Structure 1
Amino acid sequence: MPKKGKKMYPKLAFFLSILSLHILTTSASDPDPVQDFCIPNTELGSTRTSRFNLETCKNPKEVSPEEFVFSGIKSPGNFSNTGLSAISVNPTVFPGLNTLGMSFVRADLKVGGINAPHFHPRATEIAYVVQGKVYSGFVDSTNKVFAKIIEQGEVMVFPRGLVHFQMNVGKSSATIFGSFNSQNPGTHRIPNVIFGSGINDELLEKAFGLTLEQISVMRRKIIFPQEQGNV
């Protein structure tokens, strides 16, 4: 009669193989491209090649250099009530990024303006200060804050999934260029998530020690259209 350990070994090996595959897939960022580029085919008359990332790609022979150039971040966008302007650049507005596993953003902060605490569930971010002086930082999973003032020419990295924030502490406007290792990093803004998502008032009252009136005030301060953009 075979020993129990030997009998179970194939099952253990199979389990470890599945576990390893799971770790690899969950720790990766966007899938690696299997071609040079994939400009989404939005014209029914174009010659179709193959589908990747749920997009039909244009025939490379029909692609022009202009499709790899984006001019939409030459100037700031509209500012929110927190003094932030954020222009997100992803494959939706810049098709040349499609399947390349990256996206970016231009963010401008008025004097005293803030980029409220938020996080990106699918991307690590590198923030480069184009001009100005910005108090910038993130909080790790032990609630330790890593923050300092960064100035023109300096960069800071925000690890994937960690809450981070920025505030213009200079005497003039600040401009930041952020780059993500995902074409769809996602953004969860903490004030919006807490007070603008429909979480039960009683739960918020118990969690934060706020009155229902204070919760209502916080809800009224959340203005979603003016807070769009990944930063």
Structure 2
Amino acid sequence: MGKLVQLSTVAVLVAIIAILGVRSKQYGWEKDEVVKIFLDLKERLGFWAIPLYVSIHTLSLSFCLPFAVFFEGGASLLFGFLPAVFCVFVAKVLAASLSFWIGSYIRTCFADNAPLQDICPTTTQIEKNIFINGFLCKNPNNVTASDFKTSRLNHSGDTDNFLRSSVDFVTAAEFPGLNTMGLSVARTDMAVDGMVQPHYHPRASEMFYVSRGVIIAGFIDTRGRLFQQHLKEGDVFVFPRGLLHFCLNAGFDLATAFSVLNSQNPGVMRLADAMFLTDSDVLQKLMKKMIGLSAMELGHMKNTTLMGLEENVSS
């Protein structure tokens, strides 16, 4: 609903600018004609002439700067010197705020800043005492095609562990060509009954593509609602940025999925690392959200490990 209101606001602003454009053709935007128009409006509107002027001038500064020259030039003729200075100052402050809001709204789909050059593969020849937000660029004369290829995701990971799963992340630190591109990739392998424990990425959304097997994937939003789907080969699921999500192998064979994240360093925060689940009630509530079981069914389960829960569900 909030985004709909924002889009409607932008649409109204564009419509106002379009109306001004039509009027500009009608009156030719000669200086005398413009002053005459505003003098007529001032007489009709009285007190409301100044707020209207400030509003229109704010829009002209934000969307059509050439028209703003006419408004500033006519302000002193309409209102006098001091009121004109005040009106122009207020309009510029409002225009700066509006431009900043529009720029922030347009950039909401990008997790990382836009690159300032075509390519910037990560360099490994840096001193250990240099700390920056990202990675330094490789010398452009030393950039080769191999900087934009990786074979780290060619092979299955080791699933011989408690969770029976493996996640291999490839970021700009391991894949030089990803530097400044705002992307990272990952491969997830899960043996039968395997799962990836609940986690979230604070700096990126994730597009999850199932390459092999059958997978249950889901996430929990900030209102505690569970969004969960059974995925098969070729299916794609999206984990929104910053939301707790998970996946588990729901088939009878190895399951493999590939992910693309819209940040070169998405970060990973695992639920198990963030809190100690020593209370079995907490673990049961978590499993209820993940697997979708009722509280009564959870009450009959004896094994509260992640793998044990999935085995009981499968049986």
Q: State how 1:181-196 maps to structure 2 within 5 Å.
A: 181-195=262-276
Match of 2:116 in 1: 34
Match of 2:7 in 1: none
Q: Is the 8 A contact 2:199 2:244 kept in 1?
A: yes
Question: Taking structure 1 as reference, are residues 170 and 22 closer, same or farther at Cα in structure 2, changes over 3 Å only?
Answer: same
C-alpha displacement of 1:37 = 0.9
Q: Distance in 2 between matches of 1:183 and 1:41?
A: 15
State the AA in 2 paired with 1:39.
P
Aligned CA RMSD, in angstroms, stands at 3.1
Q: Which moved more, 1:31-40 or 1:106-115?
A: 31-40
State the AA in 2 paired with 1:152.
E
Q: Is the 8 A contact 1:76 1:86 kept in 2?
A: no
Question: Taking structure 1 as reference, are residues 36 and 17 closer, same or farther at Cα in structure 2, changes over 3 Å only?
Answer: closer
SS across alignment from 2:252: coil
SS across alignment from 1:61: helix
Q: Distance in 2 between matches of 1:121 and 1:111?
A: 29
Q: Is the 8 A contact 1:76 1:87 kept in 2?
A: no
State the AA in 1 paired with 2:154.
K
The alignment-based identity, stated in percent, is 36
Question: Taking structure 1 as reference, are residues 56 and 209 closer, same or farther at Cα in structure 2, changes over 3 Å only?
Answer: closer
Match of 1:154 in 2: 235
SS across alignment from 2:275: helix
State the AA in 2 paired with 1:33.
P
Match 1:169 to one of 240, 250, 270: 250
C-alpha displacement of 1:209 = 10
- Check if 1:127 corresponds to 2:208: yes
- Check if 1:89 corresponds to 2:170: yes
Larger CA Rg, structure 1 vs 2: 2
Q: Distance in 1 between matches of 2:97 and 2:146?
A: 49
SS across alignment from 1:67: helix
Match 2:259 to one of 164, 178, 191: 178
Q: Distance in 1 between matches of 2:267 and 2:122?
A: 21
C-alpha displacement of 1:142 = 2.5
TM-score w.r.t. the length of structure 2 is 0.54
Match 2:152 to one of 64, 67, 72: 72
C-alpha displacement of 1:30 = 0.9
Deviations 1:171-226 (A, max 9, x none): 11111101111111111212221228xxxxxxx97x9599xxxxxxxxxx9xxxxx
* Structure showing greater relative contact order (alpha-carbon pairs closer than 8 Å, 6 or more residues apart): 1
Match 1:137 to one of 218, 221, 236: 218
- Check if 1:60 corresponds to 2:151: no
Tell me how many residue pairs correspond in the alignment: 195
Q: Distance in 2 between matches of 1:142 and 1:190?
A: 17
TM-score w.r.t. the length of structure 1 is 0.72
Which structure shows the higher strand fraction?
Answer: 1
Deviations 1:131-181 (A, max 9, x none): 111011122233222212111111111121222111101111111101111
Q: Is the 8 A contact 2:165 2:196 kept in 1?
A: yes
Structure 2 stretches of 5 or more lacking a match? 1-46, 55-85, 127-131, 285-304, 306-315
Structure 1 stretches of 5 or more lacking a match? 45-51, 197-203, 211-220, 222-231
Q: Which moved more, 1:139-148 or 1:126-135?
A: 139-148
Q: Distance in 2 between matches of 1:153 and 1:141?
A: 28
Q: Distance in 2 between matches of 1:186 and 1:32?
A: 19
SS across alignment from 1:192: helix
Question: Taking structure 1 as reference, are residues 54 and 130 closer, same or farther at Cα in structure 2, changes over 3 Å only?
Answer: closer
Q: Distance in 2 between matches of 1:100 and 1:13?
A: 31
Q: Is the 8 A contact 2:209 2:258 kept in 1?
A: yes
Q: Distance in 1 between matches of 2:227 and 2:157?
A: 29
Q: Distance in 1 between matches of 2:230 and 2:154?
A: 25
Match of 1:48 in 2: none
Q: Distance in 2 between matches of 1:53 and 1:145?
A: 34
